[in-house]
Amino acid sequence: MWVSAGLVQINVVLGNKKANMQRIRTLVAGVFNRQIILLPELWNTGFDLARAQELAEDLEGESVGFMTTLAREKSSFVGGSILRRHGSSVFNTFVLVNAKGIVATYDKVHLFKLMQEDIYLTPGQAFTTVDLGFAKAGLAVCYDLRFPEMFRYYTDQQVHIILLVAQWPTARYMHWDTLTRARAIENQCFVLACNRVGGETHNAFNGDSVAIDPWGVILARGNREESVVAMEMNLGHIKVARTRFPVLLDQRKDLYQRNAP
């Protein structure tokens, strides 16, 4: 089965939700027939974490409403992360919606200390898989990419596609390029990874949003400009890869668990 997707690379304006929404609207105006549309990590506010309490919303707020409207207009699943308020806590939450509303959420488990996420945000406590009807997906946010155990868990849950949203800096572009590919190859699944472009006071962001197949082949890649990176994936390639090269069958989980710290 073929699945189509679009990865929306924007230069996120720090703390300015309306400007970011308008830029997304402009970019996706000509996008049609994409079953999945991904926005970057914290697409609506950027890492304005000192104002996290002020900028955070609940799941009934304007940002999720914007995503749902977009999903309805484009007949797509739309995903991206926002600052989500829950009581006195703020989470970096990946929200996935369709035309009817929220279908799944994931609170970022691995907080990035170099961006002070651990100071301003609360970590999630569980991973999230979701049945899209045409495929099963696992949700991840940026720094999660460095923790292969999470992605192997998703493989054990029979996930077909990893949906990853990020604000990954240019300074560590080589890691982005290597790790997105590694997660696809080692788990023999598709990876869709949406990254922002542009910059803030102390960081520049490379874009290079990417779609990777189970063999590690790059199906589409963005550049450093605002754009929508479009691609199509044949989910049948997962079975082909796992049949021709059945590495997952040779795992020694008995030893992994026995030797775990």
pLDDT in tens, 204-261: 999 999 999 999 999 999 999 999 999 999 999 999 999 999 999 999 999 987 776 6
pLDDT of 94 above 70: yes
Cα(110)–Cα(118) distance, integer angstroms: 9
**Which pLDDT value is given to residue 132?**
98
Active-site residue identified among 57, 142, 189, 226: 142
- Cα separation, 57 vs 74, whole angstroms: 24
pLDDT recorded at residue 250: 96
Q: What phi, psi does 35 have (nearest 5°)?
A: -70, -25
CA distance 75 to 259: 47
**Which is the CATH superfamily of the domain at 2-258?**
Carbon-nitrogen hydrolase (3.60.110.10)
Per domain, the residue ranges of the chain are: 2-258
What's phi and psi for 33, nearest 5 deg?
60, 40
Q: Which of 17, 57, 74, 108 is catalytic?
A: 108
Predicted confidence at residue 256, as pLDDT, reads 86
Tokens of 44: 């609506």
Q: What tokens were used for 55? A: 């900028």
Q: Which amino acid is at 25?
A: R
The whole-angstrom distance between residue 114's C-alpha and the CA centroid of its chain comes to 20
pLDDT of residue 260: 62
Query: What does the pLDDT read at residue 258?
Result: 74
Query: First CA to last CA across the chain, in angstroms?
Result: 41
Active site residue 189: no
How do residues 62-79 score in pLDDT, each as one tens digit?
999 999 999 999 999 999
| Spatial separation of the C-alpha atoms in residues 135 and 235, rounded to whole Å | 8
Residue 108 falls in the annotated catalytic set: yes
Q: What is the mean pLDDT of residues 129-140?
A: 98
Structure tokens belonging to residue 106: 């994931």
Confirm whether 113 is a catalytic residue.
no
